[in-house]
Structure 1
Amino acid sequence: MRPCQRSWHEELAEDGALIVSELVANAVRHARRESIRVVVERTAVRTVRVAVADLSQARPEVREAGDGDEDGRGLFLVAAPAADWGTDERRWGKIVWADLEGRG
């Protein structure tokens, strides 16, 4: 019996869930608006983009959290597994996104 191999998109699921969780938490905490949108799309053969759109135009800022800080590490957690990440400004707000690349 061969061991079950995970497909490339299954390998991205855990990192994708972490990134969405962090981006949603940031939108809820900092945008303080009534609406956010989560988008997951395949942008290339082995690339998935996860994104969170909100109605705030305030761009997220990477900051260095101190040893005793309970927060401030979210964007580091987004950047670590991501091949790339960024913010796209819109007239109505912004979209913060991260690209994950499958290896399998």
Structure 2
Amino acid sequence: MASFDARPRHVETARRVTASVLAEAGVDDRETVETVQLLVSEIVTNAIVHGNADSVSFQLTCDPADEVLIEVDDHSSGFPEVREAGPDDEGGRGMRLVAFFAREWGRKGTCTWCTVPVRPVAL
């Protein structure tokens, strides 16, 4: 589990940690790695913007033959919403991306989680 200050600059840190964890776990499908990084970015950004704590924690659990579990704890009692952002809105699309790309997603306590299927690398 990684924890960091709830500051926007740490979204990129979360993406780098994600790439490292996936590489260590043997997840080498580029599309899977990019999808997991995107969803980590969106959920961590949501936690920073809408959470009410000084820190955010996230954890990745990998089964390279099945899926990646992303868990982000924002220490907030709120529930993320899938919104319909207008064409001129600068935000409001993050959870829609999570709902689209994740196998499943939800909220448990103060933690938003989602799963991403791991695509096998074609030989």
TM-score when normalising by structure 2: 0.69
Determine the C-alpha separation between the residues in 2 that align with 1:82 and 1:49: 10
Match runs of 1:42-81 below 5 Å: 42=62, 45-81=65-101
Which structure has the greater CA radius of gyration? 1
Among all aligned residue pairs of Structure 1 and Structure 2, give the percentage whose two residues are the same amino acid. Answer: 37
Bigger proportion of residues as helix = 2
Superposed CA RMSD in Å reads 1.7
Match runs of 1:16-55 below 5 Å: 16-42=36-62, 45-55=65-75
User: Which runs of 5 or more structure 2 residues have no equivalent in the other structure?
Assistant: 1-25
Letter in 2 for 1:54: D
Provide runs of 4+ in structure 1 moved above 6 Å: none
Q: Which residue of 1 aligns with 2:112?
A: 96
Higher relative contact order, structure no. (Cα contacts within 8 Å, ≥ 6 residues apart): 1
TM-score when normalising by structure 1: 0.81
CA shift, 1:43, in A, is 5.6
Aligned residues: 93
Bigger proportion of residues as strand = 1
